[in-house]
Each structure stands twice: as structure tokens, then as C-alpha cells.
Structure 1
Amino acid sequence: MARAYAIANQLFCLFLKEKLYRMTTPIFLNALRAFEVSARHQSFSAAAAELNVTPAAVGQLVRSLEEWLAFPLFHRSGGGRARLIPTDIATRALPDIRAGFDRLNLGLARLKEASTGGVLTVTVSPAFAAKWLLPRIDRFQTAWPETDVRLDTSLKLMDFASQGIDIGVRYGAGHWPGLQAEKLMDEEVFPVCSREFLERHSGLRGPADLAGLTLIDDLSVDRQSGFVTWDTWLENAGVKVVASRAGLKINNSAAVLQAAVDGHGVALARSVLARDDLNSGRLIRLFPEITLPSSLAYFVVYRKECAALLRLVAFREWLLSETARDRV
């Protein structure tokens, strides 16, 4: 009896080995993924949209898995919103299959941490990209040629996990849920204008002389966050706010500076963004004896679980080295 059981067990192992040989590992994983996504959406069409393949391809993968298992995974319906209902055994297996894919994704992420190659996705504001990052990015690319930088410029606060963001630079008080934040740069706020504008308004000798001139307002930052406005700066300078003053309002910090460069008025500049324009002489700082540090600053931000990613570490250290270069 024992010998017969051993022979039967050996035959079963040979049968299982042959079954596994017929369904190679990549196809096997693809079929499991097609099954999991189809079960989640209860639709081959919706699964196909997520997997970026045709519904027929998803259906074929699921059928191949059912043939290999020799039992159905879905109750199929010809109509209604949910045409695929997982069978009881499929429903019991799904949590383990999903956990397995989660572990695979985690393992792949660990492998990616060991390489500086690949794509690094960086989120910054359009103004920071134009006025600070892009004029310097070639130095990072020269130092790390195997890293491809994908720049996502937006004023919106991106969800790093769902949108595949690796690292970013944000302007604010330094607190963003779910993100590590390291201060990159403080800044100061002061009035600037073009040399030509200053020549046309030769009487501009003190803050009180701003009355009647076009003052360019930056609307890109929430006023409730502690952002320095013209009213704040004028009050700090001891000048009563002129309610009837002329104004030009722009919702992009880089465009605010460009409007000043073009001679359209006096802008309230942020020192980090205006540095290159000041160094080149395109803009002139007015009343340098009056200082007003901003309560907001620039921060490098990233998810804690991604902190060891070598591409991220390289970019973070490069950002810090660039800010140190600016201070020299």
C-alpha cells in the first residue's frame, strides 16, 4: 500500500512539473495579473484599459489560466454592469495573489535602489524650473549621465506615490503630509525694476515714491500661507498702503520678473528666483537698505521609503551642492 502511494505521488509530481513547463513563468504571471485586474474591475474591457492591451488578450490570458487549473475563475454574465463575478475559490485566492504582486513590486523597487541609472521624476513649480533649476541642470546631467531626469512642472501639490514622483522642491513652511522635507534655501523679498524703468522714473529714491507707479503682484502663492505681498512689504518699509495704486497681477513668479525686466513696473522679487536677473543686470534691486526675510523657504521633499534610492540621493546631494555654490 505504501509503495502504491509513493508511486502515485511520484506520478502526480511529474504531472505537475509537466503542467508548469507548459505554462512558462512570464505567461503564468501575465495570466495571474490579467485575472486579478479583471476580478477587481469585473470586466475584461476595464482590465484591458488598465493593462494597455486588448480585451481579447485579457480574456485569452484568463482562459489559459482556467485551462491550466481545470476549473473556471468567473461566473460570466451576458449583460449588466458587472459581467464577471469571481467564483468562491477565486475570491478566496485573490488576497494572496494581490499580496504576491505587492511583494514583487517591493522587490523590484529594492533592485532599482541599487542603480543610479533609469528615470528620476522631479516635481517643481514652473517658475523654479525656469529661473533656478534649468539654468543649472546640465551640471547634474554631466555628473550623472546614466540618470534621465523627467521634470514635472506644476503649481499643484502632486501625490508622489500615485503619480510616480521621486523627489521635488516645494516652497512653503516645510510641512507636507507623507513627505520628508529638508530646507534647501531661505529667501528675502524686495522690489526690483529694469534699468530703463529706473531711468524713466528718476525720482524713485525711497519706498514712498512707489505711489502712483505700477506695482506688479505675484498671485502664484496662497496669501494665507505667509507669502509676502506688496502691502506687507510697504508696511515693513513704513509706508502707508496706497489703496488706489496702479497694479499688474500675474499668477507666475517667473512672468512677474519678466514683466519687470520688460519695464512694465516694479516687481516684488523673491531673491532665489531673481538671482540670475540681478547678476546679469537685467534687474536692479531698489532700496537695498530695507530687508524683509520671507517666513517661507524652499525644501527638498521625498517619500521616506524612497530615501535610499541612489538616483534620488544623487539629485538631493546635487541640489544641496548647488545652493552652497550660490552662497559663495
Structure 2
Amino acid sequence: MHVPFRAISVFHAVARSGSVTRAAEELGVTPSAVSQQIQALEVSLGTALIGRSGRNVVLTEAGERYFEMIGEEVDRIAEATQRIRGYRSVTTLTVRATPSLSTKWLLPRLASFIDAHPDIELRLDGSNEPVAFQKESVDVEIRHGAGQWPGLFCEGLAEERFHPVCAPGLAVASSLGPDDLARHRLIQSVKCQVQWSSWFARAGVTPAERWRRLLFDRTHMAIDAAVGGLGIALESDLMMWREWRDGRLVCPVRAPPAVGLVTQWITCPREHLRHRKVRLFLDWLRRERDLWADERRVASEIV
């Protein structure tokens, strides 16, 4: 029986990218050649695999099932072929994480993973967009949210503790009560899962209806603004750990209420856990998480 391998690889590229044009660019052919291969495969299988939604393509139910069945195998064949040809001496691991986590937590630690696994080429994709794993070539995502994504492996990265923080030149550590904060400019990341209003409620403080605010849509920008003395931020110790450890940020509040929450989650399809590169990365992540938690514990005991 003849197996249309060329048409199958073209369908795989279209399904993964969600676009005939992008697939054509990746394969080095024209969009019309891609469309012809897809049509030939549909004739061979006796069913429609893709449809259109505006400029993008969408998989039919049969197309989704077919891609799910062949996706991993085609990736494996492609990687094996590239290795034999000598085009690649390494395996690429693609990780997506939010820009703030990528900048503030992952990047300072990546050297140990890279040094330990020289055969793995790491690609770090800093984006807030959730991965569509069936369409995108992403191995692991560290996703911000509540940790409820059915069908995916999901493990909390670490429990974060949220504190008011500022530059020591703005207010020294433990110099303010919770009710003093509203007299200062308050910095907030609008996507943070702990907002000032809920923190004030935990502290038993009813602030004025309006207070001076400085808002950002990225946590790393809020942290940098606090370091720059622009106000008092409410942020996660996971994200601001270096700044806090180095004394560039302090908690100006005496006995602040304890606020702990897991907001960053390691996610991927469960079948990805079979891949060596994914297992190595997750093991490394867990070790780094434990080292960070130990460092935090020692620092709190000293204080």
C-alpha cells in the first residue's frame, strides 16, 4: 500500500502552524503546492481534513484526530532525519513562559541547565499567550493562572508570597503601618492575582475610595518601577527575589498579612512527559524551585 509521506508532512506543517502560507514558508514551496498536497491527502483518506476561518485554516474533526495520531511520529521522523543528515547535533527544547517569569526567575538560573545538557538547544518563548499545543511546537509552558486546564499535565511551580515592597530610599523596612500605605503612590500589575484592594481587606484597612496608583500590564515593569523609587508595589517574592535579596527592595510594612498563592504552573500534554528533554527540564525546574525555597527560608530565619 502506497503511503503519501510527502502529503502527510505537508498536512502536519499546516496543522501545526494553522496557516497554509506559514507552512509553505517553512517547507520552501508555494501555498498552491501546499493546497494541492492537502487535497491529494484528503482524496487518499476519503475525508476532509481542513477548512478555513478567515485567513487561517481550521482542522475538521477528522483532521484533529489524524493530527493527534501522527503529530508525534512525524516530529520523531523529522528529528531522526535531521540527525542522520548531520544538520543537527542537538535536540531543541521549546519552553514558553510569561515575560516576567522569563526575565525575573528563569533567565538568572538557566546557565545550570545549559551547562548540564549541552546536547539540548533551549528556545525560551516569552509570551502571555496560552499555548495551543496541538498547533504549536512548544514542549513545555509555565502558564500564569489558576491551574485548571483539563487534559493537560499541570504542576504548581511554587507557592508565592505577596508583599508590599519599595526602594529603601522611599521608606525603610517595617517603618509603616498598613493604614499608612494609602498616602503613598501604589504600584500594581493589573494581571497580578493579588490586588491592593484584597490586600487592604486582609490587613483590616479601609482605604479612601481613590488613591494614587501607577499601573502596569507586566509584573517585571512594576518591580522595576518600585526599585526606581516610583512607589510601593504589591508583588510576588518569586518574581522579585533578586531585588529583595540584594536589598534593592524592602517591605516597609510592620507585620504585613500573609498572602500565599500559586500563580505559575508547569503545563504540557501528558504525552510530552515521555520525551527525555521534557523530563530533564522538569527535573531541573523542580531542583531550582527547591533551592529557591531553601534560600527564602534561610533568609526569613535571619530576618
Band of TM-score, shorter chain: 0.7 to 0.9
Residue 145 of structure 2 is matched in structure 1 by 172
Residue 115 of structure 2 is matched in structure 1 by 142
For 1:45 and 1:173, how far apart are their aligned partners in 2?
Answer: 35
CA RMSD after TM alignment: 4.0
For 1:151 and 1:161, how far apart are their aligned partners in 2?
Answer: 19
Question: Aligned letter for 2:247?
Answer: G
Out of 142, 162, 165, which is 2:135 matched to? 162
Question: Aligned letter for 2:199?
Answer: W
Residue 28 of structure 2 is matched in structure 1 by 52
For 2:93 and 2:246, how far apart are their aligned partners in 1?
Answer: 31
TM-score normalised over the length of structure 2: 0.74
For 1:289 and 1:318, how far apart are their aligned partners in 2?
Answer: 34
Out of 162, 186, 191, which is 1:215 matched to? 186
Deviation at 1:48, TM superposition (A): 5.0
Tell me, yes or no, if the aligned pair for 1:189 and 1:294 is still in contact at 8 Å: yes
The 5-angstrom pairing of residues 1-328 of structure 1 reads: 29-30=5-6, 51-54=27-30, 91=43, 93-94=45-46, 105-109=71-75, 117-198=90-171, 204-221=175-192, 227-287=193-253, 289-328=255-294
Deviation at 1:179, TM superposition (A): 1.4
Question: Aligned letter for 2:187?
Answer: I
In the alignment, structure 2 segments of 5+ residues that lack a partner are 15-19, 50-62, 84-88, 295-303
Tell me, yes or no, if the aligned pair for 1:228 and 1:294 is still in contact at 8 Å: no
For 1:128 and 1:256, how far apart are their aligned partners in 2?
Answer: 13
TM-score normalised over the length of structure 1: 0.69
Deviation at 1:90, TM superposition (A): 8.0
Q: Secondary structure at the match of 1:267?
A: strand
Residue 53 of structure 2 is matched in structure 1 by none
Deviation at 1:292, TM superposition (A): 2.6
In the alignment, structure 1 segments of 5+ residues that lack a partner are 1-19, 39-43, 63-83, 222-226
Q: Per-residue displacement from partner, 1:238-257 (whole Å, max 9, x unpaired)?
A: 11122221110111100001
Tell me, yes or no, if the aligned pair for 1:214 and 1:245 is still in contact at 8 Å: yes
- Tell me which structure has the larger Cα radius of gyration: 1
Q: Per-residue displacement from partner, 1:7-56 (whole Å, max 9, x unpaired)?
A: xxxxxxxxxxxxx9xxxx9xx74377679999xxxxx9998567431479
Identity within the alignment, %: 28
For 1:306 and 1:250, how far apart are their aligned partners in 2?
Answer: 34
